[in-house]
Chain A
Amino acid sequence: MTALQLAAAIAAKKVTVADVTAQYLEKARASANFVAINESALEQAAQVQAKLDAGEALSPLAGVPMALQDNIFVQGMPCACGSAMLEGYMPIFDAVVVEKLQAAGLIVIGKLGMNEFAHSPQAAAAVTAGEIPLALATDNRMACAEHGVWHIKPTYGAVSRLGLVAQVSSMDAIGPIARCVEDCAVLLEIIADCNVAQPVGSNENLPEFPHALAACEIIACAEFGANLQKFDGVSLGKRSTKAENLSETYKFSRGEGFGLATKRRVLFGSLMLAGDNYELYYTKALQVRGQVKDVLTSISAIELPVDEAHNCLANLAGLPAIVKPDGQQIMGAAFTDIALAKGVTA
């Protein structure tokens, strides 16, 4: 059953929100993909049910359970981003997307695990396995293509980043994962503002961007490294018990708190900004980004494989990309996400 079908069953009073929520809570508790459970989900289900019974129109997905990648804030639920550094970290406010989900009557069942400050194979796996009908995750194209599940990496800026732990500030975009593209589109409409009609653009073959991937890595790692600096064991991040002074606090806390892949990205990013490297690499990466943006502003919709070399284009230009179960992606013009998704259906 798709999320929209489930919502229709709830609206038709064939099932209650509480029953559906209880069912998915059970699945989530039994799943290794979940890292945290929303213990007040049943309470929220009752509230949504009451609103529906009172005839309130919430959204086409009202009452449907869903899950969030563990880098999105829900007040009262830990948010660890798959990192020992943030073990037990409790956000003190709800992400904007969470507020929108609540207003639309969706029930957050829990949080899905992720590679440290990176992708969430768990989110793709949980939706594929039917452990949850819907999930939200930051750019998760690789994992979703592997699992053969739908995912929209939305236009940069269409979805609020407030309450999302920043990884790559100029590229981070929260998008839906679902078992059909309609579910993705409807969920995206709830959290985003990207309903520009599809422009008549050219669909010519893409030119080669030989430096796009390198540029993307340089910019992404530089921002990633800077964003993770705040986790230093002083006021944020797990403080090392071995540290006896301030510099040891930084050194040991970060040494113990981050995994190898994270450290490599942080160090590479810092290196790209250090001394003369800024001019040698970073500014050139920004130039490449500008060229990619310029060329891609005139596109309408292009089908591309899902791989690093192609994913980086939508990241550099901030464009939407829809991953299909066949492992391909459709990249389109900025803020045409919904139109693009509807086009894919047809």
Chain B
Amino acid sequence: MNWEVVMGLEVHAELSTKSKIFCGCSTEFGGEPNTHVCPGCTGEPGVLPMLNKAVVEYAMRLGLTLDCDITRVNTFDRKNYFYPDLPKAWQTTQLYAPVCRNGSVGGIRLHQIHMEEDAGKLVHAPNGSAAYMDYNRSGTPLLEIVTKPDFRTTEQVLDFLETLRETLLYLDICDCKMQEGSLRCDVNLSVRPLGQAEFGTRTEMKNLNSFKAIARAIEYESKRHIDVITRGGQITQETRRWDDNKGKSMPMRNKENAQDYRYFPCPDVPPVIIDDAWLEQVRATLPELAAQKRERYIGEHGIAPKDAATITVHKTISVLFERLVELTGQPKEAANLITGELMRHLNNTGTLPEDLQVDAGKLAELINLVLAGKINRAAYKQTMHAVFGEDVQPMAYIEQNGLLMDDNSDAVAAAIAAALAANPKAIADYRGGNEKTFGFIMGQVMKELKGQGNPALVKPALEAALADC
């Protein structure tokens, strides 16, 4: 029998607002435990939430970009459960009036997007004797993006997540670091015989910490469903935890599956009204997205589509590109720098694009130097890597390492004479009509000049010398 896998996603994006959703504490990742906390984060009684307006605006940005219907009267609800990482014993979320409904991403329909707060973290002692609470993350704003069950293949899931990630990054609302948990994805999955209209029983998989884990988990879980059903068994509707080390999904404790969250409207957060003026104000500040940038780079700057894709792989890279263009007026040089040496640097050092820190001004200076004929291409690359690696001052580095091109015509003449004297055979070949030998002789001259020769000067001088011979 042919089986069809049906999937829907629940994606949690931690928002990169400066402060938390209901208090003024920092949202910065990490830090000493319990240093980004106030009585609200630790659940002390007597504290009231103050909604962070930026959270609503971030939700509006995403909703407008993904063509969602924006809810005008937003309310918040309490989701009640007992767990040590949730000191208030309720999570403030949106059940009854999520901020966005409908919309789509690359053909996948969205069910809703809602605002909510994150919980703290439990830190277990290595010997298992104790657990400690770290409430730094408590109250960090989240958007939960819920899709309809529109996925049929792993590729669709990964494409969707890639596009969503790119959108969140370009909207500047989430840093999307899966390893830090700022982008998390749960997969709802069921299988059915191809052609059957009804959905099968679904399971929900949690703890998927990378795109790779998601792909493996889908593979494993769909196979498990098919195996169970083929052997005459039944799938239990449950939440399962993906163990990436074991390559297996395991049911979470029954208690968590039988949870009744007793949702009710949160009496402490008044409704948030989004009026036309506010919506239009946010719409007017929507930035250019990756796809629009690619189009513009190709159309406006004549960049090859493949290179435009590389440049927009992460927002930090496209920002660098645009800055270089602005400083040098040389889009092709800037594109070559990024797709060539910069990508090599990222690969060689294992640096993620989002962690890249480089002074665009220094790179622009290098581009200007090479185009002005002050340094040659080899020196350009060498200095560039020194800028990437050690953030050196380009001109100082070039001077210290003797990389400035030698424009001294006496030195050039001497080098040409030496090269001609040392390579009689090549000269004979050249004269015999083999013009390819010119490159070899040119190389020998440059070698005499220790790489500091300016090709723009050397070439005509060498041509003249060869003609005179």
Residue of B84, B90, B264 touching A246 (CB-CB under 8 A): B84
The docked-state distance in angstroms from the alpha carbon of A91 to that of B48 is: 14
- Report the bound CA distance from A169 to B260 in whole Å: 22
Stretch in contact with the other chain, from B3-11, B12-20, B37-45, B190-198: B37-45
Closest A residue, CB atoms, query B45: A165
A60-68, A100-108, A128-136, A232-240: which lies at the interface: A232-240
Q: Given A93-B39, A161-B48, A236-B45, does the pair A226, B87 have CB atoms closer than 8 Å?
A: no
Among residues of A, the one whose C-beta sits closest to the C-beta of B84 is: A234
Closest B residue to A229 by beta carbon equals B89
List the 9 shortest-distance A-B pairs measured between CB atoms, nearest first: A229-B89, A273-B262, A170-B267, A169-B267, A165-B45, A163-B46, A230-B89, A234-B84, A230-B43
Q: How far is it, in angstroms, between the C-alpha of A230 and the C-alpha of B43 when the chains are bound?
A: 7
> How far does the alpha carbon of A149 sit from the alpha carbon of B176 in the complex, in Å?
60
Option from B80, B260, B263, B265 in Cβ contact (under 8 Å) with A229: B80
A152 at the interface (CB under 8 A from B): no
Number of interface residues of A (CB under 8 A): 33
A interface residue numbers (CB < 8 A to B): 73, 91-93, 95, 161-166, 169-170, 222-223, 226-227, 229-232, 234-236, 246, 250, 270, 273-275, 278, 282, 286
In the complex, how many angstroms separate the beta carbon of A257 from the nearest chain B beta carbon?
A: 14
The answer to the question of B461 belonging to the interface, with a C-beta cut-off of 8 Å to chain A, is no
Pick from B42, B47, B265: contact of A235, CB below 8 A.
Answer: B42
CB pair B84–A164 under 8 Å, yes or no, is no
Which B residues are CB-close (under 8 A) to A278? 262-264
Chain A CB within 8 A of B133 CB: yes
**If A161-B48, A170-B267, A229-B89 touch, does A236 touch B260 (CB 8 Å cutoff)?**
no
In chain B, positions 43-73 with a C-beta closer than 8 Å to chain A are: 43-48
Which of A91, A232, A282, A286 meets B82, CB within 8 Å?
A: A232
- A93-B39, A165-B45 known; A230 vs B262 contact (CB < 8 Å): no
Closest to B85 in A: A234
- Chain B 259-278 interface 0/1 with A at a Cβ cutoff of 8 Å (1 = within): 01011110110000000000
B133 to chain A, nearest CB (A): 6
A35 to B88, CA, bound (A): 26
Q: How far is the CA of A286 from the CA of B265 in the complex (A)?
A: 10
* B46 in contact with A95 (CB, 8 Å): yes
Supposing A226-B90, A229-B82, A234-B84 touch, asked if A162 and B48 sit within 8 A by C-beta, the answer is: yes
The size of the chain B interface, using a CB distance under 8 A, is 24
Closest CB in chain A relative to B47 CB, distance in Å = 7
B46 touches A165 (CB 8 A): yes
What chain B residues lie within 8 Å of A165 (beta carbons)?
A: 45-46
Chain B 76-92: CB-based contact to A (< 8 A → 1; otherwise 0): 00101010100111100
Distance between B267 CB and nearest chain A CB, rounded to angstroms: 4
Q: Which residues of A contact B87 (CB under 8 A)?
A: 230, 234-236
On whether the beta carbons of B88 and A91 are closer than 8 Å, the reply is no
Residues B268 and A169 in contact, CB atoms below 8 Å apart: yes
Min CB–CB distance B290 → chain A (angstroms) = 42
**A222 to B264, Cβ gap below 8 A?**
yes
Q: Check if B46 sits within 8 Å of A162, measured CB to CB.
A: yes
Supply 16 A–B pairs (Cβ within 8 Å), ascending by A. Answer: A92-B44, A93-B46, A162-B46, A164-B46, A165-B46, A229-B82, A229-B88, A230-B89, A232-B82, A234-B133, A235-B84, A235-B87, A236-B45, A246-B84, A273-B263, A275-B260
Q: Separation in Å of the A98 CB from the closest CB of chain B?
A: 11
Main secondary structure on A side of the interface with B: loop
Chain A residue nearest to B48 (CB atoms) is A162
Shortest distance in angstroms between A69's beta carbon and chain B's nearest beta carbon? Answer: 13
Residues of B within 8 A of A231 (CB): 45
How distant is B200 from chain A, measured CB to nearest CB, in Å? 25
A286 proximity list for chain B (CB < 8 A): 265
Residue of A with least CB distance to B87: A235
The reply to whether A274 and B78 contact each other, CB–CB distance below 8 Å, is no
Minimal beta-carbon separation of A237 from chain B (angstroms)? 10
CB-based nearest A residue for B261? A273
Please indicate the chain A residues that have their CB under 8 angstroms from the CB of B48 in the complex. Answer: 161-162
Contacts of B133 in A (CB 8 A): 234-235
Measured CA separation A331–B301 after assembly (Å): 73
Identify the closest chain A residue to B120 (Cβ): A235
In the complex, besides A166-B45, A226-B78, A227-B45, 19 extra interface pairs with C-beta distance below 8 angstroms are A91-B44, A162-B46, A162-B47, A165-B46, A166-B46, A170-B267, A222-B264, A226-B80, A226-B89, A226-B90, A229-B88, A230-B87, A231-B45, A232-B82, A235-B133, A236-B45, A270-B262, A278-B263, A282-B264
Q: How far is the CB of B287 from chain A (nearest CB, A)?
A: 37
Whether the pair B46, A229 counts as a contact (CB closer than 8 A) is no
A222 surroundings in chain B (CB, below 8 A): 264
B46 lies within 8 A of A230 (CB)? no
A91 to B267, CA, bound (A): 22
Q: How far is the CA of A29 from the CA of B265 in the complex (A)?
A: 43
Min CB gap A118→B, angstroms: 15
Query: In the assembled complex, which residues on chain A have CB atoms less than 8 Å from the CB atom of B43?
Result: 230, 235-236
B262 nearest in chain A by CB position:
A273
Q: How far is the CA of A270 from the CA of B268 in the complex (A)?
A: 18
Chain B residues lying within 8 Å of A169, measured Cβ to Cβ, are 267-268
Which A residues are in CB contact (< 8 Å) with B39? Answer: 92-93
Q: How far is the CB of B257 from the nearest CB of chain A, in Å? A: 15
Contact with A along B88-100 (1 / 0, CB 8 A): 1110000000000
Bound form: Cα–Cα A223–B268 in Å: 10
Q: Which of A170, A229, A273 has the most chain B CB atoms closer than 10 A to its own CB? A: A229
Pick from B42, B46, B263, B267: contact of A223, CB under 8 Å = B267
Q: In the docked arrangement, what's the CA distance between A329 and B168, Å?
A: 56
Bound-state CA distance A286–B96 (Å) is: 14
